Structure 1
């Protein structure tokens, strides 16, 4: 797990200092070393977090004749199998790095080699003979990759902040902002920064010598096909598949741990890992005592005791989490207003004090249909579809839909017209044979998962030098889960039926079949009283808020929150945006203090 950055210039070459500045901005992603490549107008930078081949895996990596150069972020989990196959073809490896297989796969099979990789990755490969720069991102978008194009050439990086030196003007993209405000995240290719795009999951991009860039999707969840299996046959097939997935995900030359919420996904993951390791598995959980939200600590403690993990539980208070917010927004940089960023950041910091790798259960709900939104009454869904056509009544509600007319300034109001376009596009893509449930899962796999949950999983951990691994998002499990018959996934008011049935071998039924609580953060409890007054002053002073929102309407939101307490979500989104604007537009993307009261940060 690392940070990568670089450029391909079509005019004059850049100074080495430009490349070094990009690497400096990604130092948190790779505290164990840096490496650079510069040739024929191409520059590549790498910051390393050493996980596999600690002594010999430094990057950039080169082919024997040095015509190919690679920088990569992530893990190629099937590298041992690929290495044996490539050595049989005559390839000679110079390291034990998992990423060296990317270099040889390209040499052997060209761009089709990316389809041989099983893992989470984003990489850049310079082919000096062809004069091309080839970028690729893993199938589900676990690892990030951003790029910008201009008159002088092309630049890319693992995070937005590393691309700031390439932008002549730092401006907000109205479409990205409209998407963020309506559903808490921006959908690829959009970001909040005008002129910067993100590569879609399962996509590659090739820059030619003349500066032209070609993009191609090499995988999507549409690869899944409906499975004609009995329940017993499906459970048997899953047994073998999940064993393969967990075995290769455990490949590491450093110790690892697990974020344990006590829910179905993390509990099953803990059980699968615990039975494969000799020492007690290290686990971490967090809860919010004395608040209005569900506290997961007791459920996590129960699982930890059953599996004999070495467990640490943390109780988080409001001030402790709120003072993390400026740093959390900086870490995310591709902004999401996901409340859970705060506790995940805290857990990552604690885990990072002793570990470099942490497992978590992201993907279980999307792959095996765990969300309540997949089980909405059919008549209600039909009515919603009639009012909001294009997505079958799914993903129709926006967080600011009721206030947009009076709150948004004209340029933002104009961009709001297309905020549902990514959902509508995804809804229309599956073949006619797919069921409504499969379409809903697909929409989330294409939008919500890579553009919100996986940003959290990557950035909150990498900010503290920790690699996150998410086995439920192995593409083979994704294709399997999507293809299961609907009746295996949902039964009445129960979602994730298949995974729960399979999990009964590890846990009592009452643990698996209880009502899904979700991982919630008590934002509503926090935004009241003096904190709400401080938020009012901070938003009024923000240039970002002034540029895009009507001041009187912002004050109206504050007043309604004061009276009724039901606008904490929209106000939280505005607070996050104001901080992001100060960091990335008004400022230069430099990290704020890890502990800083957010209202004072905006007023300072």
Structure 2
């Protein structure tokens, strides 16, 4: 796990080493074990390293023997052992034991189609000096991030936006459509980000840049290519046995110890069972909760499950008021504005785990892949009603944080942008194969929007802020293809979701653990936005430059007054507060890392 950044300039330009060093410095948190630079005329590559595999010789950039290929990569190639053996049998000679060196030789052997042979989570840049071609690619599900921007002198790319902002000649403007998406959903979708001119490399996408510009931009994998399977429960259980065994064997490859974030829910409990079964020593597990707040506390369940499997368990009990002081650091770490409530406790878990190890397993993806969310079981009549809001959406993902009642909050430019915030969800719904069921369409929409731009932003950035790598076995593309292809009746039954996975897990857990009501994990936002703190927010939020630029300050003041009266507007106010903090850090400020503990209201006031 690492940070990557680079510059690819038009002919006649040369990379300034100082700019490359500045980009690397902005990503030091992603790679605290060292950094490497490669600069040759118009190409510059920077890499910051978190050592996981091949601790001695795995430094990057990696070059082939004649220096015509040069690579920087972030992530893990889990099938590197099998791929290396295949390539060596064809005459390739390796100079390291790094998993990432397989990328170099696979490209040399198979050309641009090589990326389909990789199993893993990755974002990489590969420069071919003979072709003067720069190849950028991202893993199928978007587990690892990669951003790109086109400038007058050429192209810049990086694992995080802050590395681009550190060297751009002109700070980009806010994209109003991206801001509308964030305010309504807590994240932004598609290639466009919240900042104009800065784009994501999409999940499962490859971009090839050459002397004439973009030579290729294609999705080499999408969920829409998955074919439905006709399996009964017995057949599915047998197939999954073999599949998850292979996936876990590959994911457990590491030259350093690893642990697990354990919530006590089905997904992380299954990982606990699988990891414990394969290990000789007790697995380190970590959980977090708020014992004295209004939100659900998962600590007792997690502790019980950890005991059952002999794990070395750490329970982190958070003080909610102290946690709020981590909000600026959380938003700095997230980089692209993303407001998932669980980001804050995840950040704290990563900080604690970093004292012990460099790698943790997490359960992200289980609900998307095996249909665990309650929204997948929305009654037909309710979905038909929701579809009236957004024709062509299937009635899915049509509700935003801000309703039409709140439209007076925004200025005309943002109000106009609000008209199209649902577009990515509608377009994804309509792109699904015609033979797909409604449930499969819902899963695809979440996999293309919510998963890479919310859950995986949280999983990557909160951990990497403390130099910890997260591994997500449920998002191995083979598991995703298996889960999405299952018949609906194996995933949803009545009020129960994730039916297949729960049946499979009955070998490890009693029924009451698997079939109990799913509880989401959140933070006590409502507790935070009341009393003296709400009074302070009433003073500083309407006056903030970001709020005055995009909102009607008087309308925001009325919303704050309504919160004081009823307490029912925590979610929209929390979104506005996070926007103000992010704006202070990245638009008004230079993107520097804030103090670990920093009062957000003092920061914006």
For the aligned pair, the TM-score class normalised by the smaller chain equals over 0.9
> Matched residue of 2:141: which SS?
coil
Alignment partner, residue 137 of structure 2: 136
1:409 aligns with 2:387: no
**Aligned-partner Cα distance in 1 for 2:555–2:199:** 31
Alignment partner, residue 122 of structure 2: 121
Aligned partner of 2:243 among 241, 244, 248: 241
**Alignment gaps of 5+ in structure 2:** none
Q: CA deviation at 1:212?
A: 3.3
> Matched residue of 1:406: which SS?
helix
> Matched residue of 2:591: which SS?
coil
Q: CA deviation at 1:594?
A: 0.6
Q: CA deviation at 1:56?
A: 0.5
CA contact (8 A) 1:188 1:199 kept: no
User: Is 398-407 or 501-510 further displaced after alignment?
Assistant: 398-407
Alignment partner, residue 149 of structure 2: 148
**Aligned-partner Cα distance in 1 for 2:278–2:589:** 47
Aligned partner of 1:512 among 508, 511, 514: 514
Instruction: Give me the TM-score of the superposition, normalised by structure 2.
Output: 0.99
Q: CA deviation at 1:217?
A: 0.4
CA contact (8 A) 2:364 2:472 kept: yes
Alignment partner, residue 42 of structure 2: 41
Alignment partner, residue 282 of structure 1: 284
> Matched residue of 1:5: which SS?
strand
**Aligned-partner Cα distance in 1 for 2:358–2:433:** 41
> Matched residue of 2:360: which SS?
strand
**Aligned-partner Cα distance in 1 for 2:549–2:481:** 44
What whole-Å deviation, never above 9, does each CA across 1:186-238 have from its counterpart, x for those lacking one? 01212111110111100011111123353110001122111111110100100
**Aligned-partner Cα distance in 1 for 2:147–2:532:** 39
User: Is 52-61 or 522-531 further displaced after alignment?
Assistant: 522-531
Matches of residues 429-468 of structure 1 in structure 2 within 5 Å?
429-468=431-470
Aligned partner of 1:350 among 349, 352, 373: 352
User: Is 39-48 or 66-75 further displaced after alignment?
Assistant: 39-48
Alignment partner, residue 484 of structure 2: 482
Q: CA deviation at 1:414?
A: 1.4
What whole-Å deviation, never above 9, does each CA across 1:582-604 have from its counterpart, x for those lacking one? 1111111100001111111112x
**Aligned-partner Cα distance in 1 for 2:337–2:186:** 8
Q: CA deviation at 1:526?
A: 1.5
**Aligned-partner Cα distance in 2 for 1:95–1:415:** 50
CA contact (8 A) 2:543 2:553 kept: no
Alignment partner, residue 2 of structure 1: 2
CA contact (8 A) 2:207 2:214 kept: no
Alignment partner, residue 56 of structure 1: 57
Question: What's the RMSD between the two structures over aligned residues?
Answer: 1.0
Aligned partner of 1:499 among 498, 501, 511: 501
Alignment partner, residue 95 of structure 2: 94
> Matched residue of 2:196: which SS?
coil
> Matched residue of 1:585: which SS?
helix
- Distance of aligned partners of 1:384 and 1:462 in 2 relative to their CA distance in 1, 3 Å threshold: same
**Aligned-partner Cα distance in 2 for 1:226–1:277:** 35
What whole-Å deviation, never above 9, does each CA across 1:506-534 have from its counterpart, x for those lacking one? 00000000000111211112210011112
**Aligned-partner Cα distance in 2 for 1:227–1:333:** 39
Q: CA deviation at 1:277?
A: 0.6
What whole-Å deviation, never above 9, does each CA across 1:10-68 have from its counterpart, x for those lacking one? 14213100000000000000011111111230110000000000000000000111100
The total of aligned residue pairs comes to 603
Alignment partner, residue 15 of structure 1: 16
User: Is 31-40 or 326-335 further displaced after alignment?
Assistant: 31-40
Q: CA deviation at 1:405?
A: 2.3
CA contact (8 A) 1:365 1:371 kept: yes
Alignment partner, residue 261 of structure 1: 263
Q: CA deviation at 1:547?
A: 0.8
CA contact (8 A) 1:144 1:158 kept: yes
**Aligned-partner Cα distance in 2 for 1:126–1:274:** 41
1:306 aligns with 2:330: no
- Distance of aligned partners of 1:162 and 1:115 in 2 relative to their CA distance in 1, 3 Å threshold: same
**Aligned-partner Cα distance in 1 for 2:553–2:497:** 43
- Distance of aligned partners of 1:167 and 1:476 in 2 relative to their CA distance in 1, 3 Å threshold: farther
> Matched residue of 1:330: which SS?
helix
> Matched residue of 2:278: which SS?
coil
**Aligned-partner Cα distance in 1 for 2:411–2:26:** 33
- Distance of aligned partners of 1:212 and 1:232 in 2 relative to their CA distance in 1, 3 Å threshold: closer
**Aligned-partner Cα distance in 2 for 1:320–1:363:** 29
Aligned partner of 2:213 among 211, 215, 240: 211
CA contact (8 A) 1:223 1:479 kept: no
1:399 aligns with 2:401: yes
Q: CA deviation at 1:328?
A: 0.5
User: Is 399-408 or 136-145 further displaced after alignment?
Assistant: 399-408
> Matched residue of 2:8: which SS?
strand
**Aligned-partner Cα distance in 1 for 2:61–2:389:** 53
Instruction: Give me the TM-score of the superposition, normalised by structure 1.
Output: 0.99
**Alignment gaps of 5+ in structure 1:** none
**Aligned-partner Cα distance in 2 for 1:222–1:103:** 29
Runs of 4+ that moved beyond 6 A: none
**Aligned-partner Cα distance in 2 for 1:264–1:85:** 37
**Aligned-partner Cα distance in 1 for 2:403–2:565:** 20
**Aligned-partner Cα distance in 2 for 1:95–1:83:** 11
CA contact (8 A) 2:13 2:41 kept: no
